Amino acid sequence: MTKLLRYLLGCSILLISACAKQSSPMGGPKDEDPPVLIGSNPTNQSTEVKPEEISLDFDEYITLETPNQSIIITPRIETEKVEFLANKNRVTITLNQELEDTTTYLFNFQTSIQDITEKNPAERLKLVFSTGPTIDSLQLSGTVDFVQPFDKPNFEDVLIGLYRETDTTDLFTAPPYYITQADSAGGFVITNIKAGKFKAYAWYDDNNSLKAEYRNEAYGFLTDPVDINTNVTDLHINLAKANLSELKISRSSGTGTNYDVVLSKPIVDFQIDHPDKNESLFYRQQDNSIRLYHRNLQNDSTQIRLQLQDSVGNRVDTLLYANFQESQRNKEKLTVTSNATNEFIDEINAMLTFNKPLYQIQYDSLFFSYDSAGRIPITPEMLSFSDSTHLRTRLQLNYRVPDTLTIAKLTLNASDSTFQDIENQWNEETIKTTFSRLKTDNLADGISGVVATNERPLLVQLLNTSDEPVLEQYLTDTNYFSFTNIEATTYKIQVIVDQNQNKRWDPGNYRLLRQPEPIYYFYDAEEQTDELIVRGGWTLEDLIIEPRRKSGFPANTEESIRETQSIRLPLEILILEEEDLMN
């Protein structure tokens, strides 16, 4: 064979091999076009159909992405029976159940149908058909929001559901009859509704179950059913976490020489009644447990009344017999921690937290030091237990620094064996915490303003950038607030409408149809920020904190305007009075 023939034969083999091998073309534009629906059975807006199987054909090969979670079907059907299949350019949905008579069904595919190459989802794809002669066309639209203003998950994970008034199910027990998903701004619309009365809910569906988990997911509800006979607009639902699980004593038993009461969930209030309380019977509370200590009882028991309350208002009032036994188990060491905020202007406010109830203090080893030899004794008058029930694990220290003492730093000193707990354990570590005086040029003159509401009382909180309260004011007779001589830094302001006057926020109770307490906050619409930057020597005044919408439909607009005007008037008068005094 000549060289030329061998060369031509080799080229032919390479050419045949190249033709037989299929590969993606090199280069070319990226496919950014979503799949386009070219036909369906039944067709969109069909009437008098009751399909057992639904098919959709597209202009390219497609795939299905989590259809059981992404495809929203209303009204409610048994989704666990539905089978989804993607084959080439066709999606087939086998229902495996009979649909209701004279009912309009909506399949909202969201982003579940995607092209097979670049995963571009089909845009705004919906299929509507009716098993009766007409298509139901009523709509409900509105908005959702979170009660906690600085903790907003993605609105697109919020579901809004309607349950028929006669349903025995709710947002915790079964998917709703009609359902939709909020958009990125919190807006929603439920379409193709049949006239009737419905209970309305919204929830943050973190686990894609189409139901709310009341232990760990935020949810909201309307107190009264919604009567939908025409298109209904401007519904608003606020969401907040509220653990509705039962409050109960899970177990109670001796632990070493002590007695532990373990609860089913954390509590916000509790009361212990016993003649020896804070004399020889002591206690501590941590998360969802209470530990009882008795200095005198050994191998004996005593009856104790225990009253508990959780955040949603569930209560337990019970008698228990606490057994205190001798034990060879090593006692827990006493530990002490101090508050992290160690700055002051003219008064030191410190919090010492103990892991066990405190029994006594050796004051001769407790003092402030400054410079090289300066010392200020800490006396009993400077100390108090911060809890009104005398929970002796939080010790408040207040000391007003004399004007004559012009120092930049004071150090709190507690030697070892300064604090003794009720088990006769002493602190083994020396405690040193330094408090620094804020410089004048690091101080702002203040922040002041008005909360534009007639609601009372109001708990106004100045927050740091970690959303932790720095200062608080409790307003009962006015809506005007003022924080003066504060550190120059960045703040937020939130206002709790303290409806039950317990000086904390309460999440409400769905079973009692009690809405969560409103929370308002400062927001600068022009700058689109909720932060206040305060510089040294500055004064921020005339701030107006607007109320936020409550769950339900809006109140009369004219009444709302008149109320806002009457609320702001006292602030304007106050400003004029201050100017007169200055003049």
Whether 429 and 380 map to the same domain: the answer is yes
| Together in a domain, 472 and 567 | yes
DSSP line for 157-202 = GEEEEEEETT-S--TTTS--SEEEE--TTSEEEEEEEPSEEEEEEE
Same domain, 142 and 215: yes
CB 146 within 8 A of CB 240: yes
456 lies in the same domain as 515 = yes
Residue 6, pLDDT > 60, answer no
Q: How far apart are CA 375 and CA 398, in angstroms?
A: 16
Which structure tokens are listed for 10? 């080799």
Tell me which of 567 and 464 has the higher pLDDT: 464
Does residue 129 come out as left (phi exceeding 0), alpha (psi in the -120 to 50 range) or beta? beta
Q: What ranges make up the beta strands (E) of 215-326?
A: 219-221, 226-228, 232-239, 249-255, 258-263, 269-273, 281-286, 289-294, 300-309, 315-324
CB of 219 closer than 8 Å to CB of 243: no
Domain identity same for 479 and 526: yes
Determine the residue type at 393. T
Contact 223, 552 (CB under 8 A): yes
Task: Look at residue 352 and tell me whether its pLDDT is greater than 90.
Answer: yes
Same domain, 379 and 471: no
Q: Within a domain: residue 23?
A: no
Sign of the torsion angle spanned by Cα atoms 168, 170, 176, 180 = positive
Specify the higher pLDDT residue, 341 or 207: 207
Kindly report the number of other CB atoms within 10 A of residue 257's CB atom. Answer: 19
Domain end marker among 130, 154, 179: 130
Residue 94 lies inside a defined structural domain of this protein: yes
- Mean pLDDT for all residues in the chain: 88
pLDDT in tens, 463-500: 999 999 999 999 999 999 999 988 889 999 999 999 99
Structural tokens at position 373: 């030899």
Q: Using the 3D structure, point to which of 377, 410, 437 is the last residue of a domain.
A: 437
Give pTM, 2 decimals.
Answer: 0.84
Predicted confidence band at 119 (pLDDT cuts at 50, 70, 90)?
very high
- Predicted pLDDT of residue 440: 79
- Report the domain count for the chain: 5
**CA nearest to 579, candidates 546, 542, 547, 535:** 542
What one-character-per-residue DSSP string does 29-73 give?
A: ----PPP-EEEEESPTTB-S---SEEEEEESS-EEESSHHHH-EE
Half-sphere exposure of 435 (CA within 13 A, CB side): 27
The residues pairing with 482 across neighbouring beta strands, listed in sequence order, are 448
Q: 10 lies in a domain?
A: no
Q: Give the domain extent around 85.
A: 37-130
Is residue 347 domain-shared with residue 370, that is, in the same domain?
yes
What pLDDT does 94 receive?
97
Classified as helix, coil or strand, 431 is strand
What the block records as the tokens of 204 is: 């943050």
Q: Is the per-residue pLDDT at 561 higher than 60?
A: no
Q: What is the pLDDT of residue 379?
A: 96
List Cα–Cα distances, 162 to 124, 187, 200, 273, in angstroms: 22, 16, 5, 46
Q: Residue 106 is encoded by which pair of tokens?
A: 């909506």
1 pLDDT band (50/70/90 cuts)?
Answer: very low
Q: Are 272 and 305 in contact (CB under 8 A)?
A: yes
Give the per-residue pLDDT at 386: 76
* Residues 483 and 544 both lie in one domain: yes
Domain contains 526: yes
User: What's the CA gap between 516 and 147, in Å, rounded?
Assistant: 8
d(CA 455, CA 548): 12
Confidence of residue 68 (pLDDT cuts 50, 70, 90): confident
Question: Token pair for residue 401?
Answer: 């620094």
Q: Which amino acid is at 117?
A: T
Q: List the beta bridge partners of residue 282.
A: 293
Average pLDDT over residues 539-549: 95
CATH value at residue 55: 2.60.40.1220
Q: Half-sphere exposure of residue 413, counting CA atoms within 13 Å on the CB side?
A: 14
Asked if residue 524 and residue 578 are part of one domain, the reply reads: yes
pLDDT tens for 202-250 read: 999 988 888 999 999 999 999 999 999 999 999 999 999 999 999 999 9
Q: Output the pLDDT for position 153.
A: 82
Distant-in-sequence, close-in-space partners of 222: CB < 8 Å, separation ≥ 6 = 199, 200, 201, 235, 237, 551, 552
DSSP state of 441: G
Identify the weakest region by mean pLDDT among 146-155, 203-212, 309-318, 339-348. 339-348
Residues 6+ apart with CB under 8 A from 241: 216, 217, 218, 219, 507
Number of continuous H segments (helices) and E segments (strands) in the chain: 3, 43
Report yes or no: 48 and 130 within 8 Å, Cβ to Cβ.
yes
Among 324, 350, 373, residue at a domain's last position? 324
- pLDDT the model gives residue 202: 98
Q: Which residue has the tokens 């998950």?
A: 153
Residues 53 and 93 both lie in one domain: yes
- With respect to residue 563, please indicate whether it lies within any of the assigned structural domains: yes
Question: Higher model confidence: residue 180 or residue 70?
Answer: 180
- Name the band, by pLDDT with cuts 50, 70 and 90, for residue 315: very high
Of 115-124, 525-534, 550-559, which range is least confident? 550-559
Distance CA 312, CA 510 (A): 9
Do the Cβ atoms of 142 and 237 come closer than 8 Å?
yes
| Same-domain pairing of 480 and 553 | yes
20, part of any domain? no
| More confident position, 373 or 426 | 426
Cβ burial of 23 (10 Å; 0-12, 13-18, 19+) is exposed
- Stronger pLDDT, 441 or 83, i.e. the higher one: 83
d(CA 423, CA 415): 19
Of the candidate ranges 33-47, 378-392, 508-522, 558-572, the one whose mean pLDDT is the lowest: 558-572
pLDDT at 345 over 90: no
Same domain, yes or no: 478 and 575: yes
pLDDT of residue 198: 97
pLDDT of residue 62: 95
pLDDT score at 2: 45
Q: Is the pLDDT of residue 137 over 60?
A: yes
Tokens encoding 247: 């409050």
pLDDT at 556: 52
Partners of 265 in the beta sheet?
none
Looking at residue 387, what is its pLDDT? 66
Does residue 210 belong to any structural domain of this protein? Answer: yes
Within-domain flag for 142: yes
